[in-house]
A and B are shown apart, each in its own frame.
Chain A
Amino acid sequence: MQAPPGPGYGLHGQDYAAPSGPYSPGPGKAGPEGQGRCGGYYSGPRPGPAGLGLAGVQRGYVGGIAAFGNYHGSPAAAPQGFPATCSPQLAPTSCRSSLPAGSPHASVLAAATGWSAPLTPVPLPPPPGYSASPWSVQAPDRLLRNHAGPSASAGSSPANPVADSLAYPGRQNAPPPRSSPVMSTVLPGAPSPRAPPAGKHPREPVALGVPLPGLPPQKGMQYGDCVNNQASSAPTPLSSASDDEEEEEDEEAGVDSSSTTSSASPVPNSYDALEGGGYPDVHSSSASSPAPDHAPEPDPAPAAPLSAKVMAKPFGHGYPTLQPGYQTTAAPPSAGTFAQYPQHPGVNQLSSALGGLSLQSSPQPESLRPINLTQERDVLPATPVWAPVPNLNLDLRKLNCSPDSFRCTLTSIPQTQALLNKAKLPLGLLLHPFRDLTQLPVITSNTIVRCRSCRTYINPFVSFIDQRRWKCNLCYRVNDVPEEFMYNPLTRSYGEPHKRPEVQNSTVEFIASSDYMLRPPQPAVYLFVLDVSHNAMEAGYLAVLCQSLLENLDKLPGDSRTRIGFMTFDSTIHFYNLQEGFSQPQMLIVSDIDDVFLPTPDGLLVNLYESRELIKVLLNALPNMFTSTRETHSALGPALQAAFKLMSPTGGRVSVFQTQLPSLGAGLLQSREDPNQRSSTKVVQHLGPATDFYKKLALDCSGQQTAVDLFLLSSQYSDLSSLACMSRYSAGCIYYYPSFHCTHNPSQMEKLQKDLKRYLTRKIGFEAVMRIRCTKGLSMHTFHGNFFVRSTDLLSLANINPDAGFAVQLSIEESLTDTSLVCFQTALLYTSSKGERRIRVHTLCLPVVSSLAEVHAGADVQAAICLLANMAVDRSISSSLSDARDALVNAVVDSLSAYGSTVSNLRHSGLMAPASLKLFPLYVLALLKQKAFRTGTSTRLDDRVYAMCQIKSQPLVHLMRMIHPNLHRIDRLTDEGAIHVNDRVVPQPPLQKLSAEKLTREGAFLMDCGSVFYIWIGKDCDSNFIEDVLGFPNFASIPQKMTHLPELDTLASERTRSFLTWLQDSRPLSPVLHVVKDESPAKMEFFQHLVEDRTEAAFSYYEFLLHVQQQISK
């Protein structure tokens, strides 16, 4: 069916703006009237339920929030029955007038009544907070700079650290932009300055009668589909897309007409009008929303091999907006990087691609150079280690997926399992699918072109047999090219399917149609479950959280439907009714923790915009409400059950803050840690969960599209291994702050603040599924990360966040001899916070090789280490820690001995390794000394388990820094080799190896451990440095605890700070800085990261090499 033009979108918007169907607040919307009734009941204690009701009254801390006793005299009454029977059963204590003296609440509340703007169906403008998120601070600068790039000479752009530009080098030469009715591309960055603002061309294309791109079908159909599919309990949207040929014929007619009619108008204008002005606001706002989120991620790895041309790429652009020069050329630029895609689509691209594969010309690639590790003193290069580039021809290489999103441990896939076994290297993928991207082509199209048999999305590595057919690169089935796909919206030409953006980019995002929905896209729903026991009040996290929430309330990702709720718990569970129209939040206490129920059917999860004032009042009041509590118990399990009940109709995100062992109700835990065993070298017990309660709960949550994020702020053992299950299987994330205290431990508090800021404002995707497909012959073996595996290749992710990484182990089931390329495709289907269903597709292409040497040459040591770490975590939980450690050592021994056998002619006395694997032993040693796997050093069980959780869920970049920190000497920073970022000079001090021998007393060193920075100051450190950078006259006067560098107006200070800022900007969580003096007790923290040194319980690097060598020769 033909999607309606213009107005359809409007409808769509309204649809989403107004909470529909299952999300409506329900019939029993308690208005002021209901509240009044409730208030009336308070005066007289009710005979039946009041016994419980008293519990609420007796608590001293009612404060400004009305206490609301347990209304539930008869547990038989189902909570659903409430709307009708609410008033007689309630025994509420609504004390609107009981505000504490001096509290400003009353006046604030009065203002709240005017809060009605967001009720209109027009969606709110994108929350202003996006632009202020820490990620986007640099955006304008960078964009400007990059805009300047192309217009100036190509070489004028200095080396910049944007690895992304390497990934999309071809974009610059993309064909000229044309308007398209069937496809639209959203610029995730700011619009090009050349492109006229959207508003200036209102609805121009509509007047032309062009059907708008990618309209979701009308409301009716969408919901019909939803209803039809609701029978099956779990969503399987990926397999439900249906092609409709007739539809495409109609679409094609529209295409032709538009391309002829609008040819007279200047191309960029009409495109822009179509993209921006032609849409109702709802779309343009949501479509451009990724911009701030995708704000720059300056990869710390400077893109060294970038050619000048690549550097000049305007990376704020999507491809449609190009330099004017291109727009005037009628023909697609045949020169440049896209030459490999022949003008005549009849040419088989695969064969052309294969032509470049035979890169055997060089006798021996650098990555194969044998290195004698025992002789090589400095294995660690001075610059950060890059991902190896697959040995593909140049054209495919340019199209390939960025290694930041998608990496394989072997960039050359062995042909057979036998060959893989011979190489003794792990084969697997490391994924960072939802990474913040600076540039992402977004495609709106009526039909998303996919293979008919394996459902692979069309990608740059398919081959076009002729103009009408393409051959799937995963299952080799020949498919028809749909009529719609024949038209290329960028060149506005017909019959060039290989020029479509889907075929030109290995990372694309599709706006999915209703075929990909089982229900209407859910709104963003956030629930906070907070521990308010005595212990929690002691730690004082609540004030930090409430403050952070207040600051970021507007920046929470979402649209006008966003809902939010709060629950607190100690030995009872407290709900907060924030229904709009109440003058103040109402507290409802449920003390029946054995049979948890929701005290009211609605009002607990409220619209963020409608109840904003109430929420603010609550957040201001919360930190002080429980200050005098004496309740030490924690009923976490029942609180989670209640949270699940609350969330299950919609799904969303539950953030749990816990400060101690759960001690009441379901899911209670006992302390299992024996402190005497902390430094045991033999057995580490209790790495697995003590109970299945949290696991089952996570499964239930996952089924209802709810993710549970755990913030554990605990000073004692809290059995993280059990608690972590609730996040692990519901695709949540875990944060752990050992010995958190708001005053005694300021660095932890700072870390919490920073983490919360990122956590609350980062992008989020709901009700997501991720499917990983690979070329026939390969199969997925094991998955690592936080998710629930729904099928052999399908991961169910209730939420997806940009900081989540995944790993997959692969095995080769059938020989790959008849193919020279293998491809992997990850498709992540999710609901954006704006209520759009989107599919993000990454495709990676790798060559197949037949010789062991080539396999070794293509090994990616960092990816291999991360995969090994994941496997070792699994092993230590299922078997034992010592098994896992042995397996890690064996991984080195086996792979190096396998290499040694191939170069037997070079047999030296030393330990030989190919250059590609020269860091392998070092990284494995680092892993063995990591908190997760170390033995012999005192390690708290929770710390160990948390390190394991991080290994499982962190993306590769972060994990590598955690395993092997970067050490730089910073007391003598020079501008030599410095790079320029945003007009700032960032010095690039060389990497030092992690050994105390590099730490001279005269120096100052920065260690970058990913989530924490240490600056170590030597005893005889140059006093100029101490004075210029730290702002103290001499070494003795530096305080023991210092977490910030002062802003001094000296060159050294500027350089140091610019380097630090540059490092910090490259990661989502801004790390906490510790200045460590040589004498301070905190230096142990620093020294434990020096992995090349010997400790009482572990080898030094050289000893480890000897050990490996011994094992090999055995």
Chain B
Amino acid sequence: MAFTFAAFCYMLALVLCAALIFFAIWHIIAFDELRTDFKNPIDQCNPVHALVLPEYSIHSLFCVMFLCAQEWLTLGLNVPLLFYHFWRYFHCPADGPELAYDPLVVMNADTLSYCQKEAWCKLAFYLLSFFYYLYCMISALVSS
């Protein structure tokens, strides 16, 4: 039983992952509100924008931590999403990430369903990784 750096990483990741799950749920609710016509896209997209950068940075932080802790498997699991985030961040309309969810196009049925799917997938991913981190944390604590 030893409190290694890896164990610390997993503990931190566990906490932050909970935050990410909340973000994902928030996204799902936001897009659902849009679809059911409760909110104006301009009002809705601004708070969504505010969450985009924290989410991306938290996730990048994981990856950096796991890199430092030399947890290659965990890192490998996270890298695809990391790349997706990078792509999403830099592949935005003209002025950058601010318009990752562009109120002008978000109401397009395709875009909206894409955003919804994205949010659901992320929720699933974060949930799974939450339990994975939990398991890894315990095993890291117990193993040595």
Binding site for B on A (CB under 8 A): 233-234, 688-693, 695, 699, 703, 729, 779-783, 788-794, 811
B-side contacts of A779, CB under 8 Å: 109
30 interchain pairs (CB within 8 A)?
A233-B40, A233-B43, A234-B42, A234-B43, A690-B94, A691-B95, A692-B93, A692-B94, A692-B95, A692-B98, A695-B104, A699-B42, A699-B103, A703-B42, A729-B104, A779-B109, A780-B109, A781-B108, A782-B109, A783-B107, A789-B41, A789-B108, A790-B40, A791-B34, A791-B37, A792-B34, A792-B37, A792-B107, A792-B112, A811-B109
Q: Which of B35, B42, B112 has its CB near the most chain A CB atoms (within 10 A)?
A: B42
Q: Which of B35, B95, B103 contacts A792 (CB 8 A)?
A: B35
Q: Which residue of A lies closest to B104 (CB)?
A: A729
B-side contacts of A780, CB under 8 Å: 109
> What class of interface size applies to chain B in its complex with A?
10 to 19
- Complex: how many Å from CA A888 to CA B144? 64
Would A234 and B40 count as touching, CB distance under 8 A? yes
Expressed in whole angstroms, the minimum distance between the Cβ of B133 and any Cβ of chain A is: 37
12 new A-B contacts at CB < 8 Å, known A699-B103, A811-B109: A233-B43, A234-B42, A234-B43, A689-B94, A691-B94, A779-B109, A781-B110, A782-B109, A788-B104, A790-B40, A790-B107, A791-B41
A-side contacts of B52, CB under 8 Å: none
- Complex: how many Å from CA A790 to CA B35? 10
Residues 25-46 of B at the A interface (beta carbon under 8 Å): 34-35, 37, 40-43
What string of 1s and 0s marks CB contacts (under 8 Å) between B1-43 and chain A?
0000000000000000000000000000000001101001111
**Is B82 an interface residue when CB atoms closer than 8 A count as contact?**
no
- Complex: how many Å from CA A732 to CA B33? 28
What string of 1s and 0s marks CB contacts (under 8 Å) between B39-60 and chain A?
0111100000000000000000
**Is B69 an interface residue when CB atoms closer than 8 A count as contact?**
no
**Is B99 an interface residue when CB atoms closer than 8 A count as contact?**
yes
B-side contacts of A782, CB under 8 Å: 108-110
Expressed in whole angstroms, the minimum distance between the Cβ of A1093 and any Cβ of chain B is: 38
Would B37 and A781 count as touching, CB distance under 8 A? no
B-side contacts of A688, CB under 8 Å: 93-94
- Complex: how many Å from CA A729 to CA B37? 19
A-side contacts of B40, CB under 8 Å: 233-234, 790-791
Q: Which residue of A lies closest to B109 (CB)?
A: A781
What string of 1s and 0s marks CB contacts (under 8 Å) between B88-128 and chain A?
00000111001100011001111010000000000000000
A-side contacts of B104, CB under 8 Å: 695, 699, 729, 788-789
Q: Which residue of A lies closest to B99 (CB)?
A: A692
- Complex: how many Å from CA A699 to CA B104? 8
B-side contacts of A794, CB under 8 Å: 37
- Complex: how many Å from CA A699 to CA B93? 15
Q: Which of A692, A783, A790 contacts B41 (CB 8 A)?
A: A790
B-side contacts of A233, CB under 8 Å: 40, 43
Task: Kindly list the 9 A-B residue pairs having the minimum CB-CB distance in the complex, ordered from nearest.
Answer: A789-B107, A692-B95, A791-B37, A781-B109, A234-B40, A692-B94, A782-B108, A691-B94, A729-B104
Expressed in whole angstroms, the minimum distance between the Cβ of A781 and any Cβ of chain B is: 4
Would A791 and B94 count as touching, CB distance under 8 A? no
A-side contacts of B110, CB under 8 Å: 781-782
B-side contacts of A791, CB under 8 Å: 34, 37, 40-41, 107
- Complex: how many Å from CA A690 to CA B95? 8
Expressed in whole angstroms, the minimum distance between the Cβ of B77 and any Cβ of chain A is: 32
Expressed in whole angstroms, the minimum distance between the Cβ of B51 and any Cβ of chain A is: 19
Q: Which residue of B lies closest to A793 (CB)?
A: B37
Q: Which residue of B lies closest to A232 (CB)?
A: B40
- Complex: how many Å from CA A789 to CA B102? 11
B-side contacts of A699, CB under 8 Å: 42, 103-104
Q: Which residue of A lies closest to B95 (CB)?
A: A692
Q: Which residue of B lies closest to A698 (CB)?
A: B104
Q: Which residue of B lies closest to A811 (CB)?
A: B109
B-side contacts of A781, CB under 8 Å: 108-110
Q: Which residue of A lies closest to B41 (CB)?
A: A790
- Complex: how many Å from CA A514 to CA B34? 26
Q: Which residue of B lies closest to A809 (CB)?
A: B109
Q: Which residue of A lies closest to B107 (CB)?
A: A789
Expressed in whole angstroms, the minimum distance between the Cβ of A792 and any Cβ of chain B is: 6
- Complex: how many Å from CA A789 to CA B95? 21
A-side contacts of B103, CB under 8 Å: 699
Q: Which residue of A lies closest to B93 (CB)?
A: A692
B-side contacts of A790, CB under 8 Å: 40-41, 107
Q: Which residue of B lies closest to A874 (CB)?
A: B108
- Complex: how many Å from CA A689 to CA B95? 10
- Complex: how many Å from CA A80 to CA B88? 42
Expressed in whole angstroms, the minimum distance between the Cβ of B116 and any Cβ of chain A is: 12
A-side contacts of B37, CB under 8 Å: 791-794
